[in-house]
Amino acid sequence: AEFDGNGEVVRAHDEQYVRVFAGTIYSNLVPDENQQHRVPDLILLHPSCRHSDFFTNFDFAVLRLQLPFFPSPSLVHFEMETESDPVLKALALKMNTNGLCTVVGWGAQTVNYSDDYINASSTLKKTQVQLIDWKECSYRLCRYPKRFCDVFVFHLGAICVVPYYHSSNCKGDNGGALICGSQIFGFAS
């Protein structure tokens, strides 16, 4: 897609390339009785998104849909938590006690010995991951210069997770929700 100077998708590309699907666990877009799809009428990239960086930082967007999704047996509404004190305290407690959360996605299911990520899932998968505190996160990320670790972990508001019982999110899961209890605290990136 092409973007204008404000980070908005040029209108002609919205309808041609972007569809949002919900209510189904199938990534191959084969229609099923629970599937709903919508077209966005506005896509806003994060203003700090830069694809030329070592990492693509802030690689997410907000989409406004032309029509809302309708609740169904396979589709329920979640709300993103805000930066209220009780919510942040709950997240901090989970991080400091190595609490468990759930991630979802269609990512790779197999990593072979040459570090190739293969066997992408055709159905939505979920697994538990363990939250770690920012100090542990920074320690694990510091294969890069310390400055990068400090910026990534603290200033970007990263929430770090590690595998739980040999299962974790993987390549292809980006954008999947990070759900702790009944609250969405973030997404895989």
Structure tokens that stand for 145 in this block: 């210069």
Q: CB within 8 A of 136, min separation 6: which ones?
A: 160
CA pair distance 134, 75, nearest whole angstrom? 33
Q: Is the pLDDT of residue 144 over 60?
A: no
Confidence of residue 130 (pLDDT cuts 50, 70, 90): confident
How high is the pLDDT of residue 141?
66
How high is the pLDDT of residue 1?
44
Structure tokens that stand for 82 in this block: 């805000």
Please state the rounded mean pLDDT for residues 27-35: 68
CATH architecture of the domain formed by 85-187: Beta Barrel (2.40)
Q: What is the pLDDT of residues 47-79, one digit of tens each?
A: 666 555 444 556 667 778 889 888 887 777 665
Listed residue (164, 162, 159) closest to 177, CA to CA: 159
CA pair distance 174, 169, nearest whole angstrom? 8
CA pair distance 53, 59, nearest whole angstrom? 11
More confident residue, 72 or 88: 72
CA pair distance 129, 142, nearest whole angstrom? 21
Which residues pair with residue 24 across a beta bridge? Answer: none
Q: Is the pLDDT of residue 9 over 60?
A: no
Q: Which of 111-115, 128-132, 183-187 has the lowest mean pLDDT?
A: 111-115
Domain with CATH 2.40.10.10 in the chain: 85-187
| Residue bearing tokens 């629970």 | 34
Q: CB within 8 A of 82, min separation 6: which ones?
A: none
